Amino acid sequence: MNKQHTEAIEQAIQYMKEHLDEEVTSTQLADHVGYSPYHFTRMFKQVTGISPRQYLSALRIEFGKLALLNESSLLLKVLMSIGFRSQGSFNTRFKQFVGVSPRKFRTLSQALTRNLHRYENQEPIIKPLNSKKFPLVTCHIEVPPQFHGLIFAGLFPRPIPDQRPVVGTAMTRKRTCVFEGVPPGTYYLLVAGIPWSLNMKDYFILGKSLRGLYPEPIEITEHSELSFTIPLRGPLPTDPPIVVNLPLLLFEHQKDK
């Protein structure tokens, strides 16, 4: 993808952010950046990995998360400004993407932040690999030397982390994870590195997190034994928001143990 195309997609994403309260269409976005709808949609997916509609939905949920963390009393006003016509429709969509209701997201945020900070000096307790249980996926993560924080890795049903992964894990010092007994199917291997922060919002609004992904869908069959190396990089303006609640996934994983 050339620089001109990437810049056009960045302009389209900025247009989305400035018009969240409108029914923005791919045709509008294509007109805005000077491409035909067909070429724009294809280009958008090549750059971001998802469709304009999926990206717009993720942006709206991300702005809703930020509103909840900032000032919940203004939520209804904020909902209107990001394209939701009722609190009920927002609640339904929010829970679908984030994994909890808006109210629970806000009330749990401080407790989840405290849980994360437990692992600044220790590794999360992850079930050890005692024997190979197929299908088996191994992920080696290349991390910049200056990074200090939590690394989340998972196999997701879609090329955007907007719902729970089929399997996932978290680590601090480790750089390799193994997923056992993965259900056969087609998945996307996505990794996020969340730096330690004094600002609670940085654990839920993940614009500063490092990113890593395998560039192609991964086909898992009954007897798969696969291995991938994923380099983590800094965030790009075209990266889709990470809307799923990663701190909650870690907390639930610990409870299961």
How many domains is the chain built from? 2
pLDDT at residue 193 is higher than 80: yes
| 84 and 144, same domain (yes or no) | no
Of 68, 98, 128, the position where a domain reaches its end is 98
Closest CA to 245 of 141, 94, 114: 94
| 172 and 248, same domain (yes or no) | yes
Q: pLDDT, tens digit, for every residue of 55-101? A: 999 999 998 898 888 876 666 677 777 878 778 888 888 999 999 99
pTM: 0.89
DSSP 202: G
Q: According to the model, what pLDDT value does residue 254 have?
A: 63
What CATH code is carried by the domain that includes residue 156? 2.60.40.10
Q: Which of 3-17, 35-49, 62-76, 146-160 has the lowest mean pLDDT?
A: 62-76
Q: According to the model, what pLDDT value does residue 130 have?
A: 47
Domain assignment of residue 245, given as a range: 116-256
Report the C-alpha gap between 236 and 139 in whole angstroms.
Answer: 22
Q: pLDDT, tens digit, for every residue of 208-245? A: 999 999 999 999 999 999 999 999 999 999 999 999 99
Sign of CA dihedral 146, 149, 154, 156: negative
**Mean predicted confidence (pLDDT) in 127-154:** 85
The proportion of the chain whose per-residue pLDDT surpasses 70, expressed as a percent, equals 92
169 occurs within a structural domain: yes
Mean pLDDT rounded to a whole number for the chain = 90
| 155 and 248, same domain (yes or no) | yes
Strands annotated E in 57-198: 136-142, 149-156, 167-171, 176-180, 185-195
| 127 and 81, same domain (yes or no) | no
Of 50, 65, 98, the position where a domain reaches its end is 98
What CATH code is carried by the domain that includes residue 19? 1.10.10.60
| 195 and 70, same domain (yes or no) | no
Q: pLDDT, tens digit, for every residue of 10-35? A: 999 999 999 998 889 999 999 999 99
106 occurs within a structural domain: no
105 occurs within a structural domain: no
| 9 and 123, same domain (yes or no) | no
Report the C-alpha gap between 189 and 256 in whole angstroms.
Answer: 23
Contact 232, 145 (CB under 8 A): no
| 125 and 239, same domain (yes or no) | yes
Of 42, 65, 98, the position where a domain reaches its end is 98
